[in-house]
Structure 1
Amino acid sequence: MTSSTSTPRRLTGRTAFKLALLVAVVALCLVWGGMAILHRLSHVSAQDARVMANQVTVSSRLSGWVTDFSIIEGDRLERGDTVAKLYSEPDEQKLATLQASVEAMQARLDHQEARLALANRQFQGGLNIANQQLAASKAAEQAAQARLEQARSDYSRSDELLKQHSVSQQQRDRDYYTLEAAQAEAHQASQEVAVNQAQADNAHLGFLNGVQAPLPNPEVLRFQRDVARKELAQAKAKLNQERLRIADLQVPSPSAGVVNKTLIDQGEYVGAGQPILMMHDPDKLWVEARIKETDISELRLDQPVAIAVDAFPDESFSGHITNIGRAATSQFALLPDPNPSGNFTKITQRLPVRIAFDKGPIDLIGPGMMVNVDIDVSGAGPRHG
C-alpha cells in the first residue's frame, strides 16, 4: 500500500498575470472613483452652457429702396463701414439746389457788407465836412465878435472925444457906422454857427448836406445786412439738414464685428427702423451656464473655470466667473406656470452664471455654441456682501 502526500498547487504564469491584471483594474477603478468623488466635491459642472455675445441689430433711420447690399453672413465689418445704401438721387439734386441757394445768400451778404462799408465811409466823410463847416463858422463868429468889440470901443472913445471937441463929427459918425456894420456881421456869423450846428446835428443822424449820397443811411444798411445774415444761416441749416439725410441714406456699421444673419436683399424697400442685419463683436464673447440652485452657494466671483467647446474637443479653454444671477431662468419664460390646480411638484431651478474667457482660441468659436463648464470651487471662501 502506497501513501500519497498533498502538495500546494502552484499558480501558473497565466493565472498570476490575470490575477495581477484584475488587482490593477480594481485599484484603477478605486482610484478613478476616488478622484471622481473628489472632483465632484471640489467642482460644479454644467453640460448645457452656451457661448453668448451682445447681438447688435443694424437698422436704417430712413425709408427707401436698397440700391447696394452685398454683405453675406460671416463677413467681418469695421466700425463705420457701409452696410447698405438707399436710393438717393432726388436728395442729391436737392442738395445741389440748397448749395446754390447758400452761395447766393453768401453773395448777397457780401454785397450788403460792401454797401455798408461804403456807406460808413460816406457817412463819416459827410460828418467831417459838417464838423469842419461848424468849426469854420465858429471861428468866423469869434472874429466878428472881436471886430464888434473893437468897433464898440472905437465908437465909445470917439464919442467922448467929440464931447471934448477933440475929434470931428465926421470921425465919430464913421466909428458909429463901423459899429453898426460890426454888429450886423456878428449877428450874421452867429446865424451861420446856428445853421452849421443844425447841419452837424443832422449829419450825425445821416442827413448830409452838400455831400453826394448814393447809398442809404448806414443804419438801414446794417439792418439789411443782419437780415441777410439770418437768411444765410437759415439756408445753411437747410443744407446741413439735407447733408445729414443723405448721410443717413448710407447705413453704417455701428461697431466692429461679424455678421450673424442678413435680413434683407438688394432691391428691397425698407422702412425706417427695419432691421437689416444682425452682428456681434467676436472679441466680446462669454459663456452663460445655468447652474442648479443647490450648487449656487458654492460659487464665488473670479473662480477659475475649465471650458470644453463641443465643436472643438481638442482645444483647451479657460475662464473665470464674472457674474452670478439671483433670479431663476424660469421666471422669465414666455408662458410661466402659475400652478392653478394646486398640485405641486418641486423642481430644482437653475440660475444663470456668466463666465468670461481667459485663454483659448476664441476666434474659432461663435455665439450659440454648446460648451461644458467645470467650475473649481475648492478654494471657495465665505460669501461676502
Structure 2
Amino acid sequence: MNGKKWFSIAGIIAIIAATAWLIHYFYLRHLYVISEDAFQKADIISISTQDTSGKITKLYVKEFSKVKKGEPLFQIDSSLYQKQVEALDKKIEALNYKKLSLENKLSKMEKQLPEQIKMVIDKLKGEKQKLSMLKNKENLYISEYQTSVSKAKSAVDAAEKGVEAAKTDLNRWKNQYERFKKLYEKEIISKQQYEQIESAFKAAQFKYQKALAELTVAKENLKSALSLKNRIEIVKKERKALESKIAATEKEVKIARANLKSIKELKNSINALEKEIEANKAQLEKAKILLSHTAVKSPVDGVVAKKWREKGEFITPGLPVYSLYNPESFYVLAWIEEDKVKEFKTGSRVKAELEVCGETFDGKVSSIGTAAGSTFALIPRDTSQGEFTKVTQRIPVKIKLKDVPINCIKPGTSVTVYIHKD
C-alpha cells in the first residue's frame, strides 16, 4: 500500500514538473524568439607585412596569448632593407661631394675666364687645310683606281673571250686531228695530209695556251688594279682620323665659347643636384620606413587566435603570420527562422547565454540580415525540376552584448539567444 502511495506521489510530482517545464517552455517562447543556432564572432585581423618580404627571424608571441597595441609580434630578415638604407646614405654622401666639387668649379670660373679660344680656332684652321689636301689626294686615288680597274676588267673580258674562241678552235681541230689520224692509220689519206692537220691541231693548242696565259696576266693586272684600293683606304683612314680630330677640336671651340655662358648652366646643375639630393633623402626616409616595417607590431589590443607561420619561412605582403581578434569587435551572430524575424526589430532587447562560460548577458539586436544564408551557399538549392520540399530558411541577426569579460569571448563558440518580441 505504501509502495502504491509513493508511486502515485512520484507520478503526481513528475506530472507537475512536466507541466511546469511545458509552461516555462511555452512562456519563454511567448516572450522571446529563442535560437541555439548562434555563435560568438569578432573581427579577425590578419597580421602580415605591409610592404616588405623576407624570412621570419623571430616570433615574439604564441597562439592564444593576449597582446597590447604596439607590442612586437614578429621580425623578418632586415639585412636587404638595411643595405638599401646604407646604399642611399652613401649615394647622398657622393652627391653632396659632387655638389661641393661643382661649387668649387663655379667659384674658379667666376674668378678666371676666358683665354684659349684663339689658340683652338687656329688649330682648327690648320687641321681643315690638311683635311682639304687629304680629300684631293683621296679623289685622285679614287680616279686612278676606277680607271685602272675599268681597263683591267675590259682586258679580262677580252682575254676570257679569247680563251673561249681558242678553246672552240682547239676542239674543232682536235676532232679533225682524231678523224684524220684514224684515216691515216687505215692508209686512206697521205702522210702529208695527216701532218698538215696535226700541225694545225698543235697550232690550235699553242693558241689556246697563249690565250690562257693572257687571261692569267689580265687577272693579275686586275688584282693589281684592285689593290690600289688599299692606298685609298689608307688615305680614307687618315681623313676620318683627321675628321674625328677636327670634330674634337670643334668641340673644344664650342666648350671654350660655352664656358663664357656656362656659369648659369653650372648653377642649374648645382640646383639639379640639390633636388636629386632631396629626392634621395625622401627615398632614404621611405627605405627607413620599410626597414622599420620588418618589425611587425600589433595594431590593436587583442588575442592571438592563430599562428600561421614558423620561424625561417619566407613571407610576402598579404601572407598572414598571425590572426588576431579585437575583443571590442565581439558580437553574436544568430540564425533565426524566417517566420520569426517579423517578431522583433533592430534595437530589440536580447539575453544571450554564452556556452563557453555559462553566463548570461544583456544586449540588443544591432542589425538584421537582408537575405537568407542559403542565398550564399556554394551549392544553392535547385527547384527548377519540380522537386520541392519546404525548408524553413534562416536569417542572420547580429547582436551586441554589454559588459562581457574577455575570458568569456571565444569566437566560434556556441550561444543561446533570447530576443524579446515586440
With the length of structure 2 as denominator, give the TM-score of the two structures: 0.56
Cα deviation 1:194-224 (Å, max 9, x = unaligned) = xxxxxxxxxxxxxxxxxxxxx9986344323
Matched, 1:67 2:57: yes
Distance 1:217 1:344 in 2: 90
Taking the TM superposition and a 5 Å limit, the aligned residue runs for 1:213-224 are 219-224=264-269
The number of residue pairs the alignment matches comes to 272
The partner residue of 2:387 within 337, 343, 346 is 343
Matched, 1:46 2:35: yes
Matched, 1:76 2:66: yes
Which residue in the other structure is 1:196 paired with? none
Which residue in the other structure is 1:267 paired with? 312
Which residue in the other structure is 1:254 paired with? 299
Taking the TM superposition and a 5 Å limit, the aligned residue runs for 1:1-385 are 30=19, 32-60=21-49, 61-109=51-99, 219-313=264-358, 315-377=359-421, 380=422
- Structure showing the higher helix proportion among its residues: 2
Query: What is the letter of the counterpart of residue 79 of structure 1?
Result: K
State the Cα distance separating 1:98 from its structure 2 match.
1.5
CA, structure 1 residues 246+100, in 2 after alignment: closer, same or farther (shift >3 Å)?
Answer: same
Uncovered stretches (5+) of structure 2, i.e. residues with no partner: 113-259
Tell me if structure 1 keeps the 8 A contact 2:356–2:410.
Answer: no
CA, structure 1 residues 77+360, in 2 after alignment: closer, same or farther (shift >3 Å)?
Answer: closer
Distance 2:305 2:75 in 1: 20
State the Cα distance separating 1:304 from its structure 2 match.
1.3
Cα deviation 1:18-67 (Å, max 9, x = unaligned) = 99998787666655544433322121000121000111112233332111
Distance 1:309 1:33 in 2: 24
Query: What is the letter of the counterpart of residue 292 of structure 2?
Result: A
Which residue in the other structure is 1:203 paired with? none
State the Cα distance separating 1:372 from its structure 2 match.
0.5
Distance 2:283 2:356 in 1: 55
Cα deviation 1:125-181 (Å, max 9, x = unaligned) = xxxxxxxxxxxxxxxxxxxxxxxxxxxxxxxxxxxxxxxxxxxxxxxxxxxxxxxxx
Tell me if structure 2 keeps the 8 A contact 1:62–1:248.
Answer: yes
With the length of structure 1 as denominator, give the TM-score of the two structures: 0.61
State the Cα distance separating 1:346 from its structure 2 match.
0.3
Other structure's SS at 1:283 match = helix
CA, structure 1 residues 111+77, in 2 after alignment: closer, same or farther (shift >3 Å)?
Answer: farther
Tell me if structure 2 keeps the 8 A contact 1:262–1:277.
Answer: yes
Other structure's SS at 1:102 match = helix
State the Cα distance separating 1:337 from its structure 2 match.
2.1
Distance 1:360 1:267 in 2: 38
Other structure's SS at 2:321 match = strand
CA, structure 1 residues 325+338, in 2 after alignment: closer, same or farther (shift >3 Å)?
Answer: same
Tell me if structure 2 keeps the 8 A contact 1:109–1:228.
Answer: yes
Identity across the alignment (%): 27
CA, structure 1 residues 118+82, in 2 after alignment: closer, same or farther (shift >3 Å)?
Answer: farther
Other structure's SS at 2:300 match = coil
Uncovered stretches (5+) of structure 1, i.e. residues with no partner: 1-11, 124-214, 381-385
Distance 1:295 1:370 in 2: 20
Query: What is the letter of the counterpart of residue 374 of structure 1?
Result: Y
Bigger CA drift: 38-47 or 247-256?
A: 247-256
